[in-house]
């Protein structure tokens, strides 16, 4: 599980949201965004503490570098030499367009194939459609998104909002089996105007028998009360079941109930297979408090072999009950650079967003 | 993926719908069916271009032949010597009753077991219930369906509408493992009055490591703007994930959003296991245009071994951008009789339905 | 499939519901609970035949014994020497608190880990959190539940209602792989005030290649018209698909449609993996009549190896059409103590609940 933060990423997602919200300050002040979330006047006035996704429609440009990593793996990165596994979190709002120039610094063909968004066949990222990138070359892929809209025949065209992902489709085989195995994948979130923004977003990818290509699951950290978003993606060969201790979510588009009439199942365990993706937001420690809450694949041999990590929820004073004395727990390496990343810049931005 | 069309099939489904719609023309003219789809008066008057399922209640009779195919496989067919894999698409509307006489032309016991519909234990199709057919024999199975209805205790009995399927339950083992492996399965759609009718319906069955018992997935063809329905069924031993490029659907009863308040997840990838079935309607190339859009199992070794095909979406002039020059793409055989069937008769009927 | 009944269990669930309903008789008479279910006045007055879950808020204490069984398996039980596989059905209503003292009569560490409910990290049941029970020791675990509630920021916190389960997390490995394999698991239902109560509840656990740790699936019995609840849980290594003949359910929180606008898919087959759980209520034989209705895993090799049993739905006179003459059906052992349990006490209580 890798927290999606850092200065590079801000150029993609958070900063854009902030800029928009600041630019549209009058609208926010007029209560439009709070209405989208809260509905009821009295409660909205009391509880407007959450930022929401602004209107879409922006056109952005982005450069993504496909690179070999020191350990023989491969990754996408926003700057040369900064590739990561998973690749950077890409966020859009319905209506946005994103032009992504992929620069291939490797010695094999690579590509970029997205799930969920609208793209013409020239941005398919498949060899058949001749939309891959040769070694040393570059290619611009265009992703568009759209809000829900009623068609002329009266039916509804669903919007692009969802917890999606992107990956290579040509390394190793024409289905990108080699690229996926080595790490060429990343999360893509398309939000709907008015969707609640989290304070932190973590990405968990069950890729064959690894989590984010690590032999044991990384930890991630939050404080009780944080609004945390999880993006869960699966790749490779195997089916898995994703389980979190002490926290649950709704099995629907947002992972949150739309209201008391919402019949979506509430679950804490979900079967997944390659290229499945979903996401949800939770309030860290809500109703259960601080602690080292395990998350893991619940296929018994998979968790036994290391497909497990911790969602470390601290008290406001930073302590995690019962955790410190067990730091050397079996089959788990905590504090690795990839695993346990404390967020800082985003919190500051989160506050800014509320103006 | 096999398109479900042809003169035999018309006797089952389309023709019945047309006859009903024509017979009930006064009702259609009065706006009942357009109301079911569109709701809003002004938009309905502008956009009534889609046909919908009529009221159920018909009683039909059908003969199904269980036959050995030339290559050692087995199939169901509507006429002697016309068995196919998958078997013919059977469509019903909630309230319909279907009596199916199964004629066993093979030298082993066979049966017919449906999912989704109402049937008495004598139509179970299991050996335990003595409801199979001996070699050279015949047996009539009765399937009933019903609309949603409030029970006396205030709860709702769900209707029969859904994307279902039928299959043998006795060849090889008492669970029909041999019959399923050889091809004794087919799609069954139960529609609700007012459900939108597609212009084309394609059936995709992931059966062990095949698609529709073919070593590589068949292609299917449409033109940009066609309302295409996919019925996706799984059989055999393995789990799979069904993925389509460039197109998405809602993970609910119809595969389409009921409106902007519908919280169903929108997905383009879904984990499935044996006897799972679902379906959805898409507008070919909507927002993405013409192209050779791949569909495949996203379990990497499965797609690499051939579980992939193309949804070929042509421009109105019949061309498919970027496709012609790659006709000989690896691991894929296009144009096989089972694979790439151009529809004609149904389009004509589709127009007739709108009167 | 084991019916969850018996005198011990009554102390947990049914008796509490009865006591509450009796205690709150005036409220029931005033129509509050029938309104929750039926909604429409005229139909409610005609059809108030179903009992519903009362308001939550009770605090209960329970003792659970973790024991070795004679055949080398392990189970949880409500009294010494009464452990069963699955363990006893535990029912709560949103708002209830349950303190469970686990007494470990075995010679290895054991624990209790729940899904779905609220528990502090000290009730996690993991070795890392030092919340297991040593041989000969005891430990009290506390589970809390809550109703849906709007948060201060306007979003909804989902309630605890759901079809959940509990299991060991330390026997064999730190993920309880050994404990689960031997039988240390059981069903947990959290109901919402107003949720319809079934007349019978059956638990089916696909645990590796067994059902409820039995080599062939147990049978369970009902009479046409009974409101039967199924709790379906999966554990172990494998994925499965759960299928029932002649009966279907909605793939949502309750397994029942909330009304005609509910877009939940109606299914009779569902893919599941370890630690997944869901449940639903059906009316035995509704629209299909009495019979020996098979339920089974639809992965072909799994059903062929014995993952199948019968839902025996009798006519009011007790007969099951076509069943008696096939009592010795292949691969299936009927009438084992674990398998086919006729309910009696609960029916009597069911009647009492309607006053």
Residue A28 has pLDDT above 50, yes or no: no
Determine the pLDDT at residue C264.
96
Mutate which of A259, A287, A328 to test chain C, going by most C C-beta atoms within 10 A?
Answer: A287
Q: Which residues contact B124 (CB under 8 A, 6 or more apart)?
A: B113, B131, B169, C245, C246, C291, C293, C294
| Rounded-to-integer distance, Cα C108 and Cα A309, Å | 25
A172–chain C nearest CA distance, Å: 28
Sign of CA dihedral C18, C22, C28, C29: positive
Mutate which of C229, C232, C300 to test chain B, going by most B C-beta atoms within 10 A?
Answer: C300
| Rounded-to-integer distance, Cα B8 and Cα C53, Å | 53
Nearest to B292 among A128, A159, A175 (CB): A128
Could you say which DSSP state residue C265 is in? P
Give chain B's end-to-end CA distance (angstroms, integer): 31
Residue C322 has pLDDT above 70, yes or no: yes
Sheet holding B138-144, edge to edge: B74-77, B59-68, B97-104, B138-144
Mutate which of C255, C271, C329 to test chain B, going by most B C-beta atoms within 10 A?
Answer: C271
ipTM of the complex: 0.84
β-strand pairing of A162-167 with A113-114: antiparallel
| Rounded-to-integer distance, Cα C103 and Cα C225, Å | 40
Contacts A177 to B, Cβ<8 Å:
300-301, 303-304
Burial (CB count <10 Å: 0-12, 13-18, 19+), residue A186: buried
Nearest to B253 among C40, C266, C288 (CB): C266
Give chain A's end-to-end CA distance (angstroms, integer): 30
- Are A211 and A268 spatial neighbours (Cβ–Cβ below 8 Å)? no
Instruction: Name the token pair of B132.
Output: 């199979």
Could you say which DSSP state residue B40 is in? S
- HSE at residue C73, side-chain half, CA atoms within 13 A, is 18
Determine the pLDDT at residue B49.
53
Write out C111-146 in H/E/C secondary structure.
CCEECCCECCHHHCCCCCCCCCECCCCEEEEEEECC
- HSE at residue B137, side-chain half, CA atoms within 13 A, is 11
The three-class DSSP label of residue C274 is coil
Determine the pLDDT at residue B102.
98
Q: Which residues contact B54 (CB under 8 A, 6 or more apart)?
A: B17, B20, B21, B24, B33, B93, B193
Q: CA of A310: which chain C residue's CA is closest?
A: C128
- Are A113 and A126 spatial neighbours (Cβ–Cβ below 8 Å)? yes
β-strand pairing of B162-167 with B156-157: unpaired
Nearest to B252 among C49, C241, C264 (CB): C264
Contacts C205 to A, Cβ<8 Å:
none
Q: What is the pTM of this model?
A: 0.85
B265–chain A nearest CA distance, Å: 4
Contacts C258 to B, Cβ<8 Å:
156
Burial (CB count <10 Å: 0-12, 13-18, 19+), residue B169: buried
The phi and psi torsions of C79 (rounded to 5 degrees) equal -140, 155
Residue C271 has pLDDT above 80, yes or no: yes
Q: What is the pLDDT of residues C102-126, one digit of tens each?
A: 999 999 999 999 999 999 999 999 9
Contacts B109 to C, Cβ<8 Å:
none
The phi and psi torsions of B220 (rounded to 5 degrees) equal -140, 155
Average of pLDDT values for A306-333? 78
Neighbours of chain C (3+ CB pairs under 8 A): A, B
| Rounded-to-integer distance, Cα C217 and Cα C206, Å | 9
**From A295-304, A317-326, C344-353, the region with the lowest mean pLDDT:** C344-353
The three-class DSSP label of residue A97 is strand
Tell which residue, B16, B17, B24, B94, has the closest CA to residue B62: B16
Instruction: Name the token pair of B255.
Output: 């595969």
Top pLDDT among C38 and A212 is at: A212
B201–chain A nearest CA distance, Å: 18
- Are A69 and A85 spatial neighbours (Cβ–Cβ below 8 Å)? yes
Between CA A295 and CA A303, with CA A301 as vertex, the angle to 5 degrees is 15
Residue A9 has pLDDT above 50, yes or no: no
Q: How confident is the model at residue A350 (pLDDT cuts 50, 70, 90)?
A: very low
Question: Which ranges of chain B have pLDDT less than 70?
Answer: 1-50, 325-355
Q: What is the pLDDT of residues C45-92, one digit of tens each?
A: 333 456 999 999 999 999 999 999 999 999 999 999 999 999 999 999
Residue C335 has pLDDT above 70, yes or no: no
The three-class DSSP label of residue C71 is coil
As a whole number of Å, the CA-based R_g of chain B is: 20
Q: What is the pLDDT of residues A241-284, one digit of tens each?
A: 999 999 999 999 999 999 988 999 999 999 999 999 999 999 99
Pairs of residues, one from chain B and one from chain C, whose beta carbons lie less than 8 Å apart: 156
Residue C44 has pLDDT above 70, yes or no: no
A268–chain C nearest CA distance, Å: 7
Determine the pLDDT at residue A260.
86
| Rounded-to-integer distance, Cα B349 and Cα B11, Å | 13
Q: What is the pLDDT of residues B17-51, one digit of tens each?
A: 433 332 222 222 222 222 222 222 223 333 345 69
- Are B118 and B158 spatial neighbours (Cβ–Cβ below 8 Å)? no
Could you say which DSSP state residue A324 is in? G
Determine the pLDDT at residue B153.
87
Question: Cα–chain-centroid distance for residue A86?
Answer: 10
Tokens 């399965």 label which residue? B185
Burial (CB count <10 Å: 0-12, 13-18, 19+), residue C63: middle
Q: What is the pLDDT of residues B106-145, one digit of tens each?
A: 999 999 999 999 999 999 999 999 999 999 999 999 999 9
Winning range, highest mean pLDDT, from A25-29, C234-238, C345-349 = C234-238
Determine the pLDDT at residue A13.
42
Q: How confident is the model at residue C337 (pLDDT cuts 50, 70, 90)?
A: very low
Could you say which DSSP state residue B265 is in? P
| Rounded-to-integer distance, Cα C274 and Cα A305, Å | 15
The phi and psi torsions of A150 (rounded to 5 degrees) equal -80, 130
- Are C246 and C293 spatial neighbours (Cβ–Cβ below 8 Å)? yes
Residue B72: count of CB within 10 angstroms of its CB:
8
Instruction: Name the token pair of A161.
Output: 């909002």
Hey, are the CB atoms on B162 and C245 less than 8 Å from each other? no
Q: Which residues contact C325 (CB under 8 A, 6 or more apart)?
A: none
Average of pLDDT values for C128-151? 97
How many residues in chain B? 355
- Are B48 and B38 spatial neighbours (Cβ–Cβ below 8 Å)? yes
């Amino acid at each position: 599980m890798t927290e999606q933060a850092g200065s590079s990423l801000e150029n993609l997602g958070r900063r854009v949201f902030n800029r928009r919200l600041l630019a549209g300050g009058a609208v926010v002040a007029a209560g439009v965004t709070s209405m989208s979330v809260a509905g009821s006047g009295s409660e909205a006035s009391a509880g407007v503490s959450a930022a929401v996704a602004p209107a879409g429609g922006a056109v952005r440009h982005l450069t993504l570098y496909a690179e070999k990593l020191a350990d023989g793996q491969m990754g996408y990165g926003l700057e040369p030499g900064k590739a990561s596994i998973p690749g950077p979190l890409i966020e859009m709002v319905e209506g946005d367009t994103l032009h992504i120039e992929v620069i291939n610094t490797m010695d094999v063909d690579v590509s970029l194939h997205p799930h969920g968004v609208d793209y013409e066949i020239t941005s398919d990222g498949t060899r058949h459609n001749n939309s891959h990138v040769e070694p040393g070359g570059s290619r611009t892929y265009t992703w568009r998104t759209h809000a829900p809209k009623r068609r002329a025949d009266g039916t509804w065209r669903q919007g692009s909002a969802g917890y999606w992902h992107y990956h290579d489709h040509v390394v190793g085989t024409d289905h990108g089996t080699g690229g996926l195995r080595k790490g060429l994948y990343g999360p893509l979130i398309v939000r709907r105007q008015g969707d609640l923004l989290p304070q932190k977003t973590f990405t968990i990818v069950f890729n064959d028998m690894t989590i984010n290509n690590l032999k044991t699951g990384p930890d991630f950290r939050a404080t009780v009360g944080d609004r945390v978003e999880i993006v869960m993606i699966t790749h490779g060969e195997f089916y898995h079941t994703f389980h979190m201790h002490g926290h649950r979510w709704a099995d629907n588009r947002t992972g949150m109930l739309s209201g008391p009439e919402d019949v979506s199942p509430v679950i804490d365990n979900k079967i997944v297979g390659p290229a499945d993706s979903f996401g949800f937001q939770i309030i860290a420690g809500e109703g259960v408090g601080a602690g080292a809450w395990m998350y893991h694949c619940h296929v018994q041999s998979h968790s036994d072999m290391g497909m497990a990590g911790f969602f470390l929820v601290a008290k406001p004073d930073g302590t995690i009950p019962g955790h410190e004395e067990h730091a050397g727990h079996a089959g788990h390496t905590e504090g690795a650079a990839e695993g346990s990343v404390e967020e800082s810049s985003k919190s500051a931005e989160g506050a800014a967003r509320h103006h």
